[in-house]
Amino acid sequence: MEKNWPLWEIFVRSKNGLEHRHFGSLHAADAEMALENARDVYTRRSEGVSIWVVESKNITASNPENNGELFEPAQDKIYRHPTFYTLPDEIKHM
């Protein structure tokens, strides 16, 4: 009886100083194989210096249908942005 290889999400740091970014996904039997496959699938042209693999089932994602409740509260808090505050024109570099 054949068991399917699970799905893994692949994150790659393209160079030191940058964050790992989601590159895509692939199937592999375990984490080690996921790393090896990710090397071949996503970094054939030196696109990365570090790879993270996470089994897809371990990712919890927010539901876009709840985007209102989740993200709208930030929209009316303009006082969190520097441009909310008035300064005299003479002030530079602030």
Partner 1 sequence: MSEAQLKNTGTERSRSLEEIFEQRIANDEKIEPKDWMPEKYRKTHIRQISQHAHSEIVGMLPEGNWITRAPSLRRKVALLAKVQDEAGHGLYLYSACETLGISRDELYDQLHSGKAKYSSIFNYPTVTWADMGAIGWLVDGAAIINQVPLCNTSYGPYARAMIRVCKEESFHQRQGFEIMMSLCNGTEVQKQMAQDALNRWWWPSLMMLGPTDSESVHTEQSMKWKLKRKTNDELRQQFIDQTVPQADILGLTIPDPDLKWNEETGHYDFGEIDWEEFWQVVKGHGPCNKERMNARVGAWERGTWVRDAAMAYAEKQQDKKVNSAKAV
* Binding stretches for partner 1 (CB under 8 A): 2-5, 7, 24-27, 29-30, 33, 40-41, 44-45, 61, 63-65
CA angle 41, 45, 50 (to 5 degrees): 70
Q: How far apart are CA 49 and CA 39, in angstroms?
A: 10
Give the nearer residue to partner 1 in terms of CB position, either 3 or 92: 3
Give the nearer residue to partner 1 in terms of CB position, either 72 or 89: 72
Q: How far is the CB of 41 from partner 1 (least distance, A)?
A: 5
Query: Cβ neighbours of residue 37 under 8 Å, at least 6 residues apart?
Result: 26, 27, 28
Give the nearer residue to partner 1 in terms of CB position, either 18 or 41: 41
